[in-house]
Amino acid sequence: GQNIDQPTEMTATEGAIVQINCTYQTSGFNGLFWYQQHAGEAPTFLSYNVLDGLEEKGRFSSFLSRSKGYSYLLLKELQMKDSASYLCAVVDSNYQLIWGAGTKLIIKP
Amino acid sequence: IAGITQAPTSQILAAGRRMTLRCTQDMRHNAMYWYRQDLGLGLRLIHYSNTAGTTGKGEVPDGYSVSRANTDDFPLTLASAVPSQTSVYFCASSDSGTSGNYNEQFFGPGTRLTVL
């Protein structure tokens, strides 16, 4: 079967750095997405990785290792508005998105 | 309209009733999707459409039907609602759906449906 694993919940302090991990086992791989979802709102796109390595975009970075079936989202200089759920999703061999259950990130002052 | 709209925002429905959730996008995206999101579970694909006139089944299609008469609209119908269909429903679209060109999905604001 296909599986995406993320921690259910994480807590971090305002101004700090947090890394949210995602491991996957899917039938084929055609890229990995990270989305942010604030409570009661729709998911919004953060990043897309299809090649190994680190993609940096402002305070957010995303890393991919295809050989390990592993990705992480790195958030720097945390702000209270970063409190949200972070969803990892993999594009499988049929070009369908397989979604993880999401990681709820709680930021404390 | 800018992006994707969904209607209604929320609905309480008696079991056994028929219900259509509406979704409209103005981005001229070829692909559209319907997901349900339940607490503790990831987004689960109900149905999708790669282009107007075609539809396909996702992970959890039972009890739902869709149509894609044109590029902009992708309604989801519950023929006879059951309590297990209580969920938040998201419509999404993307400028992809064919192999070799996968782009991000844009989501509508969601419909919160309660079936009693």
Per-position DSSP letters for B29-55, written without gaps between them: -SEEEEEEE-TTS--EEEEEESSTT--
Taking contacts as CB-CB distances below 8 angstroms, the residues of chain A near B108 are 42
B101, pLDDT greater than 80? no
Interface contact flag, B109 A100, Cβ < 8 Å:
no
Q: With cut-offs at 50, 70 and 90, classify the pLDDT of residue A100.
A: very high
β-strands B111-115, B10-13: how paired? parallel
- Cβ-contact B105, B91 below 8 angstroms: no
DSSP state of A82: G
Cα nearest neighbour of B108 on chain A: A42
DSSP state of B96: -
pLDDT tens readout for residues A23-72: 999 989 999 999 999 999 999 999 999 999 999 999 999 999 999 999 99
Residue A63's pLDDT is what? 98
**Selection from B27, B107, B104, B38 nearest residue A62 by Cα:** B104
Residue B29's pLDDT is what? 93
Taking contacts as CB-CB distances below 8 angstroms, the residues of chain A near B43 are 43, 87, 89, 97, 99
B100, pLDDT greater than 70? no
Residue B2's pLDDT is what? 72
Give the least confident one: A7-11, A71-75, A91-95, B106-110.
A91-95
B37, B41, B43, B88, best to mutate vs chain A, most A CBs in 10 Å: B43
Stretch B40-69: mean pLDDT: 94
